[in-house]
């Protein structure tokens, strides 16, 4: 039965999209890593708690198929701020977050990084 569970999780991983804009913060990538850790031996991996495994799978399927979004439809596709889903995706993109982090740095720190011959990481070594 572990082989069947393993195949179901693999199928779910294949269907789950990977968002390239969220590098190292993507749920699809995280899911693939966790499945690889949980099923290290592939189909031969012993499952200590099959009920919990099935429950986890069903929960992930509900997230993937937008079960609750469809069950409880919203009147508007905006947030309380008036932002749309696409606006939120753009703001949460890794490149935009990096730009925001750069803006948080002080002028002195930015100038120091720009004109420094060595990188700040080298100072930590």
Residues 13, 66 within the same domain = yes
Is 58 a member of any domain?
Answer: yes
- 6 contacts 74 by C-beta, under 8 angstroms: no
Instruction: Write down the pTM of the prediction.
Output: 0.62
- 9 contacts 57 by C-beta, under 8 angstroms: yes
Residues 55, 90 within the same domain = no
Q: Please check the confidence at residue 120 and state whether its pLDDT lies above 60.
A: no
Residues 81, 100 within the same domain = yes
Tens of pLDDT, residues 63-91: 999 999 999 988 877 777 788 878 877 77
Q: Please check the confidence at residue 34 and state whether its pLDDT lies above 80.
A: yes
- 41 contacts 6 by C-beta, under 8 angstroms: no
CB proximity list for 83: less than 8 A, separation 6 or greater: 91
- Residue 117: predicted pLDDT: 62
- Residue 106: predicted pLDDT: 72
- Residue 74: predicted pLDDT: 81
Residues 6, 54 within the same domain = yes
Is 16 a member of any domain?
Answer: yes
- Residue 27: predicted pLDDT: 87
- Residue 118: predicted pLDDT: 61
Mean pLDDT of the chain: 82
Residue-number span of the structural domain to which 48 is assigned: 1-73
């Amino acid at each position: 039965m572990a082989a069947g569970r393993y195949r179901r999780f693999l199928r779910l991983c294949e269907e789950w999209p990977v968002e390239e804009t969220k590098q190292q913060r993507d749920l699809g990538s995280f899911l693939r890593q966790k499945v690889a850790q949980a099923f290290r031996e592939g189909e031969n991996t012993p499952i200590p708690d099959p009920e919990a495994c099935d429950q986890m799978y069903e929960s992930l399927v509900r997230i993937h198929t937008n079960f609750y979004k469809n069950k409880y439809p919203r009147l508007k596709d905006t947030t309380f701020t008036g932002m749309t889903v696409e606006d939120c995706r753009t703001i949460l993109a890794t490149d935009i977050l990096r730009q925001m982090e750069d803006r948080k740095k002080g002028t002195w720190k930015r100038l120091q990084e720009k004109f420094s011959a060595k990188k700040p990481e080298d100072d930590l070594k």
